[in-house]
């Protein structure tokens, strides 16, 4: 029996060599491409990232191009991927890399780790895959594989478990192929040792070394710590029209979706009459008001439960920014939380 031990290295590398997904960032694993792909892949499926990645590389092919890019450009390229602090950190880090490292990501794990938005996993992925440095890259997928290999009942969100797992994989890193070992573990987690009780143990190259499998626990692991309930926020979203234009506002500079454009919203679920009164109190004259289909959006710690109204205004409030529907689509990166309401004006030009 083995668990996470040197015995898993050879079968994993052999399995990886025999066939793995052909992904664009694997074809030319430069530090920049690995970095951008890993940040995009956080919280997002590979299939969804493919289009974003190719558009990004076409528009911003290197660190310098990203450092010089206007906020509107990189936010637009990110639109729909969510978790916008990720793209803001990408930009901040690119500026720092230009200032400190002449536009080349440093081939040094600790220096990578010090950059905005780069944590242990991403630093490990860039250092090992693009620079050949023998450090582990342990994300949620790899933690799940480790819990199963070791038949470990500790929840994988446990900080001590994460630290222990990183140390154990660090001790296994082959000097000649650290990036391939990390990628074989990621690939195993993505294609075979699947989450939600569905590992394909019959296809697994390390089944004979897996303690979870031998104890009949593979599908039951990893155990999860009890989740904290998300906070529910009720909102009334306003699709405000003045003529053909659409009214937008900007979110505060800190907090959820910081600094992004959004459709104006009122706190709570307001009835049509309450909404008219709230707008009248601001001096916004409602000419017509129609109810929209409610929508829900789930963030990491908060859920928005949204009612919505399509409202034609008789005056143009100065505190809002009014844009055409085509400009809205082309130039303004609105969070995907508003997608359901914007579908009403999708076809307009
Ligand atoms: Fe995962 Fe099953 Fe392979 Fe164990 S044998 S590592 S549980 S796929």
The tens digit of pLDDT for each residue in 266-290 reads 999 999 999 999 999 999 999 999 9
148, 195, 205, best to mutate for ligand 1 pocket (most atoms within 8 Å of CB): 148
- Contact between 219 and 288 (Cβ < 8 Å): no
From the CA of 200, give the closest atom in ligand 1: 8
DSSP string spanning 5-38?
A: SGGGHHHHHHHHHH-----HHHHS--HHHHHHHH
- Report the interhelical angle of 178-191 vs 140-150 (nearest 10°): 80
Q: What angle do CA 289, 294, 295 make, to 5 degrees?
A: 135
pLDDT in tens, 49-95: 999 999 999 999 999 999 999 999 999 999 989 888 899 999 999 99
pLDDT, residue 346, reads: 78
pLDDT average, residue stretch 316-330? 93
Structure tokens of 190? 């993505």
pLDDT at site 1: 64
Structural domains of the chain in order of their starting residue, each with its CATH number = 6-214 (1.10.340.30), 231-341 (3.90.79.10)
Gap from CA of 200 to ligand 1 centroid (Å):
7
Show Cβ contacts of residue 128 under 8 Å, excluding neighbours closer than 6 positions: 134, 135, 136, 137, 173, 178, 179, 181, 182
Distance CA 224, CA 241 (A): 47
Q: Which atom of ligand 1 is nearest to the CA of 205?
A: 3
CA distance 318 to 321: 8
Q: What is the mean pLDDT of residues 39-56?
A: 92
Check whether 152 has a pLDDT greater than 70: yes
Confidence (pLDDT) at 205: 97
What is the structure's pLDDT at 236?
A: 97
Q: Which residue's CA is minimally distant from atom 1 of ligand 1? A: 193
Match 């939600």 to its residue by tokens. 196
pLDDT tens figures, 178-220:
999 999 999 999 999 999 888 999 999 999 999 999 999 999 9
Q: What percentage of the chain exceeds 90 in pLDDT?
A: 81
Residue 330: the pLDDT is 86
99-125: b or e for each residue (b if 16 or more CB lie within 10 Å)?
A: eeeebebbeebebbbebebbebbbbbb
Q: Distance from the CA of 145 to the center of ligand 1, in angstroms?
A: 7
Confidence (pLDDT) at 309: 97
User: Would you state the structure tokens that stand for residue 184, as one six-digit string?
Assistant: 């074989």
Catalytic status, residue 38: yes
H helix or E strand, kind and range, residue 296: strand 286-298
Sign of the alpha-carbon dihedral angle for 74, 76, 81, 86: positive
List 18, 38, 58, 348, catalytic entry: 38
pLDDT at 349: 63
Rounded Cα–Cα distance for residues 338 and 343 (Å): 9
CA distances from 140 to 132, 161, 277 (A): 22, 12, 48
Question: What mean pLDDT is predicted for residues 296-316?
Answer: 94
Q: Indicate if ligand 1 lies below 6 Å from the C-beta of 4.
A: no
């Amino acid at each position: 029996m083995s668990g996470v031990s040197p015995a898993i290295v050879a079968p994993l590398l052999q399995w990886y060599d025999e066939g793995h997904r052909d992904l664009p960032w694997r074809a030319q694993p430069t530090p920049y491409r690995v970095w951008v792909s890993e940040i995009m892949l956080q919280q997002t499926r590979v299939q969804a990232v493919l289009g974003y990645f190719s558009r990004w590389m076409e528009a911003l092919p290197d660190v310098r191009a990203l450092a010089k890019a206007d906020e509107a450009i990189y936010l637009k390229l990110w639109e729909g991927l969510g978790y916008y602090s990720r793209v803001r950190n990408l930009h901040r880090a690119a500026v720092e890399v230009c200032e400190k490292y002449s536009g080349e990501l440093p081939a040094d794990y600790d220096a990578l780790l010090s950059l905005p938005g780069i944590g242990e996993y991403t630093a490990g992925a860039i250092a090992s895959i693009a620079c050949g440095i023998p450090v582990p890259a342990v994300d949620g997928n790899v933690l799940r594989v480790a819990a199963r290999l070791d038949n470990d009942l500790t929840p994988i969100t446990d900080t001590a478990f994460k630290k222990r797992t990183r140390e154990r994989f660090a001790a296994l890193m082959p000097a000649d192929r650290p990036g391939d070992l990390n990628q074989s573990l990621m690939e195993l987690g993505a294609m075979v040792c699947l989450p939600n009780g569905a590992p394909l143990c019959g296809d697994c190259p390390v089944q004979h070394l897996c303690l979870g499998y031998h104890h009949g626990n593979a599908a039951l692991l990893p155990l999860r710590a009890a989740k904290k309930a998300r906070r529910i926020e009720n909102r009334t979203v306003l699709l405000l029209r003045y003529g053909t234009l659409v009214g937008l506002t900007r979110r505060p500079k800190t907090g959820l979706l910081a600094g992004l454009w959004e459709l104006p919203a009122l706190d709570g679920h307001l009835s049509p009459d309450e909404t008219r009164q709230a707008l009248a109190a601001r001096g916004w004259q409602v000419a017509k008001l129609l109810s929209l289909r409610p929508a829900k959006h789930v963030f990491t710690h908060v859920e928005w439960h949204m009612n919505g109204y399509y409202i034609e205004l008789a005056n143009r409030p100065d505190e809002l920014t009014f844009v055409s529907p085509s400009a809205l689509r082309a130039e303004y990166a609105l969070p995907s939380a508003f997608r359901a309401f914007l579908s009403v004006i999708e076809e307009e030009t």
